[in-house]
């Protein structure tokens, strides 16, 4: 067992005075010496925090015992070091930014599929998988043969659904990292006439744990300094290509130019050659940060 954990969790639920809750929750997280990023809104909580195992347990116990968060599930990663440098709890109007106020996941009736149900369904003739994540995420890794949409943010999801219009009569298994985006995405799809919509319970993360990640190709993009994590230990494959030399690699970095800061795939060799930059113009930029091979830079807030 490793010394630290990184937790990933969400819960759509009603939080009254969420702005005040956010302030109190930040104090609570700081008292536990956790690091991470949490969004709080009237529609719920969405977070990822990291810290020593015992502090993570205290955090989970507190939330599990709070009736507001009844039934909250934590996805737990054992890690060698804390995955964040800072602790933020931010109040937002939505915990997942979609911009469709009529979508209310607290009352969703979309079936959540367990890993074994996914395995049993996904290769059938009348079933397709849909990756609801952004381009930068699915380019690093996605389910074999899954549909993707040309989106850079989740807000663009509804307007890009026409790209998969022809699958309207199929059974569609939607998935994202941990399930939170699917809670909204599947409702949008139903509103737009997709009848048979499912979501993977707990997203790629939980599927990876329970099905060994079978048929998930590449790595899973994560929103902490690890950037990419392995999912599949059954039949892994690398699908991403280095931005510079086109060689196959799963290394994901932040561009060393802070004005760019783009996340992109960069191989080990090109990393050193490009000093962690995505392009020549970034390489020439005035404030390029020193590259240490990791491709991660603290946000410096
Ligand atoms: Zn390269
Ligand atoms: Zn750049």
136: its two tokens: 């930068």
- pLDDT tens-digit series, residues 221-234: 998 888 899 999 99
Lowest-pLDDT choice from 98-102, 110-114, 276-280 = 98-102
**Residue 301 — very low, low, confident or very high, per pLDDT cuts 50/70/90?**
very low
User: Residue 178 and residue 236: Cα distance in Å, rounded?
Assistant: 20
Lowest-pLDDT choice from 101-110, 263-272, 287-296 = 101-110
- Given a cut of 90, is residue 300 above it in pLDDT? no
Cite the active site residues. 176
The DSSP bridge pattern shows strands 4-12 and 87-91 to be unpaired
Quote the pLDDT of residue 296.
Answer: 87
Question: If you measure from the C-alpha of residue 280 to the centroid of ligand 2, how many angstroms do you get, rounded to a whole number?
Answer: 8
Cβ–Cβ under 8 Å, residues 209 and 220: no
Domains and CATH numbers, the chain: 4-91 (3.30.70.100), 105-221 (3.40.250.10), 241-301 (no CATH)
- Given a cut of 70, is residue 283 above it in pLDDT? yes
Question: If you measure from the C-alpha of residue 273 to the centroid of ligand 1, how many angstroms do you get, rounded to a whole number?
Answer: 9
| Half-sphere exposure for 42 (CA within 13 Å, toward CB) | 5
The residues placing their C-beta within 5 Å of ligand 1, an ion, are 242, 244-245, 267, 270
Cβ burial, residue 224 (10 Å; 0-12/13-18/19+): buried
Question: If you measure from the C-alpha of residue 296 to the centroid of ligand 2, how many angstroms do you get, rounded to a whole number?
Answer: 13
- pLDDT tens-digit series, residues 114-134: 999 999 999 999 999 999 999
Question: If you measure from the C-alpha of residue 158 to the centroid of ligand 2, how many angstroms do you get, rounded to a whole number?
Answer: 28
Beta-carbon count within 10 A of 298 CB: 10
Ligand that comes closest to the CA of residue 253: 2
Residue range 135-143: average pLDDT? 95
Ligand that comes closest to the CA of residue 266: 1
Quote the pLDDT of residue 299.
Answer: 60
Beta-carbon count within 10 A of 234 CB: 12
Ligand that comes closest to the CA of residue 265: 1
Please give the mean pLDDT across all residues of the chain. Answer: 95
Residue 287 CB contacts under 8 Å (≥ 6 apart), including other chains: 257, 258, 259
Residue range 228-256: average pLDDT? 94
Cβ–Cβ under 8 Å, residues 199 and 207: no
Ligand that comes closest to the CA of residue 278: 2
Residue range 79-98: average pLDDT? 95
Cβ–Cβ under 8 Å, residues 54 and 195: no
Question: If you measure from the C-alpha of residue 141 to the centroid of ligand 2, how many angstroms do you get, rounded to a whole number?
Answer: 21
Q: What percent of the chain has pLDDT over 90?
A: 93
Question: If you measure from the C-alpha of residue 238 to the centroid of ligand 2, how many angstroms do you get, rounded to a whole number?
Answer: 23
Question: If you measure from the C-alpha of residue 245 to the centroid of ligand 2, how many angstroms do you get, rounded to a whole number?
Answer: 16
Residue range 49-75: average pLDDT? 97
Residue range 86-99: average pLDDT? 95
């Amino acid at each position: 067992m490793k010394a630290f954990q990184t937790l990933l969790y969400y819960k759509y639920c009603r939080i009254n005075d969420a702005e005040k809750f956010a302030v109190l929750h930040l104090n609570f997280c700081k008292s536990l010496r956790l690091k991470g990023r949490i969004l709080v809104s009237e529609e719920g909580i969405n977070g990822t925090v990291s810290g020593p195992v015992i502090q993570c347990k205290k955090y989970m116990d507190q939330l599990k015992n709070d009736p507001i968060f009844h039934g909250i599930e934590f996805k737990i990663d054992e890690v060698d070091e804390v995955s964040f440098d800072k602790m933020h709890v931010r109040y937002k109007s939505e915990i997942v930014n979609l911009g469709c106020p009529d979508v209310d996941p607290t009352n969703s009736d979309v079936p959540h599929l367990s890993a074994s149900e996914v395995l049993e369904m996904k290769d059938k003739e009348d079933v397709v998988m849909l990756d609801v994540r952004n381009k930068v995420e699915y380019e690093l890794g996605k389910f074999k043969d899954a549909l993707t949409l040309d989106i850079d943010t989740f807000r663009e999801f509804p307007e890009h659904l026409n790209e998969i219009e022809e699958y309207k009569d199929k059974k569609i298994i939607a998935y994202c990292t941990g399930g939170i985006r699917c809670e909204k995405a599947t409702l949008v799809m139903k509103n737009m006439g997709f009848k048979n919509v499912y979501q993977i319970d707990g997203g790629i993360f939980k599927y990876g744990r329970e099905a060994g990640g079978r048929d998930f190709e590449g790595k899973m993009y994560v929103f902490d300094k690890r950037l990419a994590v392995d999912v599949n230990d059954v039949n892994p494959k690398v699908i991403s290509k280095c931005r510079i030399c086109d060689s196959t690699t799963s290394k994901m970095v932040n561009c060393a130019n802070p004005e760019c800061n783009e996340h992109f795939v960069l191989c080990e060799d090109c990393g050193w050659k490009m000093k962690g930059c995505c392009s020549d113009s970034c390489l020439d930029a005035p404030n390029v940060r020193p590259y240490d091979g990791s491709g991660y830079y603290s946000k410096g807030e």
